[in-house]
Amino acid sequence: MGTDVQRMTEQTPTSPSAALSLLELRRHLLRRASALSVRAQRCRHRGDGAGAARLASEASRLARIAKQMGDDNND
């Protein structure tokens, strides 16, 4: 999946609707990362360290992708 997202972010939007779609995708990724972080915290509180680590790792990965999309849009 990383390659697909990287390819998408490397393409410059050609229309306002394409830019909006990228913005919507970035917002969705950030919301998903936030939700996964909350779930990771709940796992930690329940004592499920492995589950918490897996969720936190995925949240971090999505947040990095969203950040990269934002950085690429500002070029």
Residues 15-38 have pLDDT tens digits of 667 767 888 999 999 999 999 999
pLDDT mean across residues, the chain: 84
Enter the pTM of the model.
Answer: 0.69
**What's the pLDDT band for 73 if we cut at 50, 70, 90?**
low
Interatomic CA distance for residues 4 and 20, integer angstroms: 18
Residues 35-49 have pLDDT tens digits of 999 999 999 999 999
Write down the pLDDT at residue 27.
93
DSSP 10-70: HSPPSSHHHHHHHHHHHHHHHHHHHHHHHHHHHHHHHT-HHHHHHHHHHHHHHHHHHHHHH
Q: Please tell me whether residue 74 adopts helix, strand or coil conformation.
A: coil
Write down the pLDDT at residue 10.
58
Domain ranges of the chain: 24-75
